[in-house]
Chain A
């Protein structure tokens, strides 16, 4: 998927991977929200254990990695080509773009990437590489499952982590708000009847995802 491929091919792959990652965000949010509904963490840990051990999910994990890598790589390639296409900029900056967020996709993308590295270091690597997560003990009985829930709870008791997480999620929201309708446009889906719905649903999706993820650290922090 290098520079050889046409601009539209790159855009189509970019949008397909983006849509795939958006579906993943919904699944991830669904699991995270379990922490709010079950203070014993049993439900969350069971699902986390299932996600971490199920062979189908394990296989999909690599598809997800590939999705992230392709999306980010293409984003960088497209951006570099775009910078090259205008070697000298204007003195008076344009102000005609419809969406403010569309101008800063590479910037929000880089912030999300940095957040992702921190997120991996905090959760994924601890679980998969270092195996440093304590065993989940329910009512004095060891369950044989890792206590992913306690890891989340402990991190969200730190105010600096909560603030950082909220900022990262707001940036993700800015990215998603443009990305949702943009993905459909790149795939050639633009219709006077359906495009207003896609745009509206994109805003709705963005708000639900962003607010959904942000509620969790706030709830944990203020109920500690």
Chain B
């Protein structure tokens, strides 16, 4: 496959960025998207040019490190996958592919396509945990948990914190991420102990960091590589409302 890439290049956080055109040739349709980027970077290095900086780590869709806003979609045109799981067969020969970084005020650009997602870590630090005293390991079956709740908690916990929800949302809202983290604990008895404090602190941190407000467009759910449901957002709204009232 021959492709025309239009990639956002930005030397540093404060540098002026611009789109640069790169043609790439002889790309296998079985190559992954990141392999295609690697091929481009090898060519750039061979020509003495600066390679394109982009985030990646496990390359098997579980670490949440890869990003890229490809042709108007976070993680590209395919459903329920991360960029590292995207294959070039999803594109047509000769196609122009526009690659942009996640755009949100709380996700500042470090370089080219890499953004700083520390904001998500700060939200987790504000309450995305359960406090457990050290001691003997409790019996796993000692606390009865409804199968439905266990499933919903597990579904919410599938969130890898990649930030695609923020990237997809027209308001750069982090509600899907925060609600998944609130839900995975709120659904389980161990998480109920700190539920009130957790939702209040995590929402306050999310607002403080400058994420936008949710307007229920549901673009986050449509683009989430882990299919996190917007039912989690409703659950967080409920949790928040009850925390404020009670």
Contacts and interface: CB of A to CB of B under 8 A. Distances in A.
Contact of A97 (B19, B217, B233): B217
Interface in A19-52: none
A90 B69 contact: yes
Given A10-B213, A85-B104, A99-B218, A185 B206 contact: no
A11 B214 contact: yes
B187 interface: no
Contacts of B175: 7
Max chain A Cβ within 10 angstroms of own Cβ: one of B171, B175, B210, B215: B215
Contacts, number: 133
Contacts of A99: 217-218
A94 B237 contact: no
Contact of A96 (B105, B211, B222, B231): B222
Nearest to A4: B207
Contacts of A97: 170, 217-219, 222
Interface in A95-138: 95-99, 102-103, 105
Contacts of B19: 91
A224 interface: no
Max chain A Cβ within 10 angstroms of own Cβ: one of B106, B206, B212, B236: B212
Nearest to B233: A185
Contacts of A190: 230-231, 233-235
B112 interface: no
Contacts of B206: 7
A84 interface: yes
Contacts of A187: 237-238, 241
Given A8-B240, A85-B104, A94-B219, A185 B234 contact: yes
B218 A86 contact: no
Nearest to B170: A103
Given A6-B203, A96-B222, A85 B231 contact: no
A202 to B, nearest CB: 12
A8 B170 contact: no
Contacts of B210: 84-85
Contacts of B149: none
Q: How large is the interface on B (under 10, 10 to 19, 20 to 34, 35 or more residues)?
A: 35 or more
B168 A87 contact: no
Nearest to A86: B172
Nearest to A179: B216
Contacts of A189: 234
A102 B72 contact: no
B117 interface: no
A81 interface: yes
Given A11-B214, A96-B219, A97-B222, A86 B105 contact: yes
Given A88-B103, A94-B72, A103-B217, A185 B237 contact: yes
Max chain A Cβ within 10 angstroms of own Cβ: one of B71, B173, B234, B244: B234
B73 interface: yes
A98 B222 contact: yes
Interface in B81-118: 98, 100, 103-106
A93 B215 contact: no
Nearest to A94: B72
Contacts of B215: 78, 82, 102, 105, 182
A139 to B, nearest CB: 53
Contacts of B222: 96-98
Contacts of A12: 237, 241
B235 to A, nearest CB: 7
Given A6-B204, A82-B172, A90 B72 contact: yes
Interface of B: 6, 19, 69, 71-73, 98, 100, 103-106, 168, 170-173, 175, 203-204, 206-207, 210-219, 222-223, 230-231, 233-241, 244
7 contacts: A11-B213, A78-B215, A86-B170, A99-B218, A188-B234, A188-B236, A190-B233
